[in-house]
Structure 1
Amino acid sequence: MELSSEIFKWFTDPEYIILYGGLALISAIIFAENGVFFALLLPGESLVFLTGVFCHMGLLPHSLPVTLLAVYAAAFGGHQFGYYFGVRSGQWLLRQEDSYLIKRKHLALARAYYRKYGVWTILVGRYIPVVRTLAPILAGSFGMKHSVFTLYNFISTTLWAIPFLLLGYFAGAVVPNPQRYLPLVFIGLVVIILIPLLKPLIPKSWLAFFQHRAEENDN
């Protein structure tokens, strides 16, 4: 029982992963959590943030550029792997007849949604656990162009991996026990990044309403 508990911590507790697995295990976990369908419960932002903290504390025997490059490559590569897996498995999925779990009309609706909003799903889904893992698989399954997916994978990786790791690195320099404030850091950073990404999805009537209310308050 104790052995199984230790193994579970190795793959789900960010501090265990960093201290006992080093950069190799960090990269493997980030890769899997960003595109391997059975890795839904692995840590994401918390691992990236604490990697930055521990890098500053010297508990990782690697420089910041090397750590950042490894984390970035793992996150980008995980999404690419998920996309290719979706491309290969998607054709099998789309050939299935109606069953209790698979309905062709649902698959058709999902494909239409990805063709219309797939780009935003890749960008915004990066900040949502579970969605982050499944989004690239679904993008590949429902036919998002490889060049389009790769471009937005690059953008979303840049907006996800780099801010969380650098924030952890610099928080380790000025905040005692910064891991205690991880939930607040996560919420604040996600809100800042997602506002400009979500704006195109907000109906214009809503934007006009809020603008009108703001003008009334000013008067």
Structure 2
Amino acid sequence: MTLAHSVLAQASGAPEYDGVIGWVLSLMDTLGEVGVGLAVLLETFIPPIPSEAVLPGAGFLAYEGRMSFWLAWAMATTGALVGAIIWYYIGAAFGRARTRWLVGKVPLMEHEDFDRAEAFFQRWGGVAVLVGRCVPLVRSFISIPAGIERMHFLKFVLYTFIGSGLWNGLWIGLGYAFGPAIRPILEQWSGLLSDIIVIVILALLMWFVVARLIRNLRRKRQSAEAS
């Protein structure tokens, strides 16, 4: 946060937030329930914006009477649903053959990775969509295999709505229940939370890269020994 931003925030009585989370919280504080929906929609495409870190802020604003709890929940669920539908149609547009080919071209990824994911989705289908909406990172992309497999659209929408509605209600409800305890935490630690989330995502990416490199080296060694 810049000095000018801080001075203006203090002068207007607005809360001071930092980092990516801070930007999203300020968006909600400015636009109200519409901002909540936009925040969740953005999270669908930008994983470093975690709903579990920003939706309690919406709950606190509802606790203060600055927005409607149920309208905030409805907008959050609508934002999640719109983002999921966009990913669904992206998966449907690419289709199975092109997506499998694309996965095989990604460094350290193989066609068998796509095959395993496809088999998992074919087995669990709606349950995968429903549960996936409540899992960080996964909820941003679970709609892609649904589109690839051309899951019945109304069924997809229903499972997405239920999963997203439960998830959003949980975190907005926690913010509402804890009330005043939420705001000072977000004001003091929003920047740190943003940094931690980015670090965790980078750590998971590094873990994936290292694990794949080790696996590929083992396969080459086993192949050399067999020959």
State whether residues 20 and 48 of structure 2, in contact with CA within 8 Å, keep that contact through their aligned partners in structure 1.
no
Distance 2:111 2:118 in 1: 10
Match runs of 1:1-219 below 5 Å: 2=2, 9=18, 11-13=20-22, 14-34=24-44, 36=45, 39-58=46-65, 60=66, 62-91=67-96, 92-96=98-102, 98-99=104-105, 101=107, 102-172=109-179, 176-178=180-182
Distance 1:54 1:67 in 2: 10
Q: CA deviation at 1:95?
A: 4.7
Distance 1:142 1:54 in 2: 40
Q: Which deviations, in whole Å up to 9, do the C-alpha atoms of 1:178-210 show, x marking residues without a partner?
A: 35789xxxxxxxxxxxxxxxxxxxxxxxxxxxx
Q: CA deviation at 1:11?
A: 4.0
State whether residues 37 and 79 of structure 2, in contact with CA within 8 Å, keep that contact through their aligned partners in structure 1.
yes
Gap regions ≥5 residues in structure 1: 183-219
Query: Counterpart of 2:125 in 1: which secondary structure?
Result: helix
Distance 1:29 1:97 in 2: 29
Counterpart in the other structure of 2:11: none
* Percent of matched pairs sharing the same residue: 24
Q: Which deviations, in whole Å up to 9, do the C-alpha atoms of 1:3-37 show, x marking residues without a partner?
A: 9x99x947422533333454333211201323x3x
Q: CA deviation at 1:51?
A: 0.1
Distance 1:97 1:154 in 2: 28
User: Against the structure 1 CA distance between its residues 100 and 55, is the aligned structure 2 distance closer, same or farther, given a 3 Å change threshold?
Assistant: closer
Normalising by the residue count of structure 2, what TM-score does the alignment of the two structures yield? 0.62
Distance 1:142 1:25 in 2: 33
The one-letter amino acid paired with 2:137 is: V
Query: Counterpart of 1:127 in 2: which secondary structure?
Result: coil
Counterpart in the other structure of 2:202: none
Gap regions ≥5 residues in structure 2: 7-16, 187-227
Q: Which deviations, in whole Å up to 9, do the C-alpha atoms of 1:101-148 show, x marking residues without a partner?
A: 353333222211111123332222223221111111232234433233
Count of matched residue positions in the alignment of Structure 1 and Structure 2: 172
State whether residues 87 and 141 of structure 1, in contact with CA within 8 Å, keep that contact through their aligned partners in structure 2.
yes
Runs of 4+ in 1 over 6 A off after TM superposition: none
User: Against the structure 1 CA distance between its residues 110 and 50, is the aligned structure 2 distance closer, same or farther, given a 3 Å change threshold?
Assistant: same
User: Against the structure 1 CA distance between its residues 121 and 179, is the aligned structure 2 distance closer, same or farther, given a 3 Å change threshold?
Assistant: farther
Indicate the structure whose relative CO is greater, using CA pairs within 8 Å and at least 6 residues apart. 2
